[in-house]
Amino acid sequence: MKINNREIQFPLNKIFPKRWSPRSFNGKKLTKTQIMTLFEAARWSPSAFNGQPWKFVYTERGDKNWKRLLNLLIPFNQMWVKNSSLLVFVISNKKFEYNGKSNKTHSFDVGAAWMSVALQASLMGLAAHGMSGINYKKATEVLKIPKNYKLEMAFAVGKKDLKSKLPADFQKMEVQSDRNKVNKFISKGTFVWK
């Protein structure tokens, strides 16, 4: 069965195969409600002991922080993120706030919050593209991230635009990627991969 030209193996909600990570954005300003709705989706993500270790530092295209935060990305990502509407840096608290002890699943929990944002963006007719192409050392300093926190990734959000507006090299990458078959990443009872 195909959903959005993507082959699925088992029945599921179309929101999953519909969501993808384009690089072509039209730069149109998002409303405050749109932005806050994305963060509201993150708010309801599951986390160990309800620790909610996610923190988001964001900037909107055209505001006073845009260029400063855009410059924290590697040049490759700056080339396409500059046309997005929203740039967000995702940070996790490595310790539980309620007792100060180490939270072993902080990155995992923050990944769940990011996925909630990505799915909500898709539901809203927007696209969200996550990236690890960040100057992590510089970003940690510029964003003033304390030692008990970890900069995980960044993502851009906006309304998808035509791929023809991207540079030629980027146009080749502007396709929905495929995924491994389910049997490649599941195993019953024991670890079988090498």
The pLDDT tens digits of the residues spanning 91-144 come to 999 999 999 999 999 999 999 999 999 999 999 999 999 999 999 999 999 999
- Beta strand segments in the chain, E: 2-3, 6-7, 54-60, 86-93, 127-131, 149-158
Residue 91 falls within a domain, yes or no? yes
Q: How far apart are CA 124 and CA 163, in angstroms?
A: 20
Distance separating the N- and C-terminal Cα atoms of the chain = 31
The pair of three-digit structure tokens given for residue 102, joined into one six-digit string: 């180490």
Question: For a pLDDT cut of 90, what percent of the chain falls above it?
Answer: 72
- Output 180 or 66, whichever has higher pLDDT: 66
Among residues 155, 47, 139, 130, which one has the least CA distance to residue 93? 47
What range does the domain containing 156 cover? 53-160
Q: How far apart are CA 146 and CA 167, in angstroms?
A: 37
Given the structure tokens 């050392």, which residue do they identify? 137
Q: What is the pLDDT of residue 13?
A: 85
Look at residue 180 and tell me whether its pLDDT is greater than 90.
no
Q: Cβ atoms within 10 A of the Cβ of 90, count?
A: 23
Which range is least confidently modeled, 17-21, 35-39, 72-76, 117-121?
17-21
Residue 153 falls within a domain, yes or no? yes
> How many separate domains does the chain show?
1
Look at residue 19 and tell me whether its pLDDT is greater than 90.
no
Q: What is the pLDDT of residue 194?
A: 83
Residue 192 falls within a domain, yes or no? no
Residue 182 falls within a domain, yes or no? no
Q: What is the pLDDT of residue 18?
A: 83
Residue 164: pLDDT band with limits 50, 70, 90: confident
- Output 52 or 194, whichever has higher pLDDT: 52
Among residues 1, 33, 31, which one has the least CA distance to residue 17? 1
- Output 27 or 167, whichever has higher pLDDT: 27
Q: Which long-range contacts (CB under 8 A, 24 or more apart) does 70-73 make?
A: 72/134, 72/135, 72/138, 72/139, 72/142, 72/143, 72/154, 73/131, 73/133, 73/134, 73/135, 73/154
Residue 77 falls within a domain, yes or no? yes
Residue 170 falls within a domain, yes or no? no
Q: What is the pLDDT of residue 6?
A: 84
Among residues 146, 147, 150, which one has the least CA distance to residue 107? 150
- Output 180 or 41, whichever has higher pLDDT: 41
Q: What is the pLDDT of residue 138?
A: 98
CATH of the domain at 87: 3.40.109.10
The mean pLDDT of 37-65, rounded to a whole number, is 97
Radius of gyration of the chain (CA): 18
Q: How far apart are CA 150 and CA 111, in angstroms?
A: 13
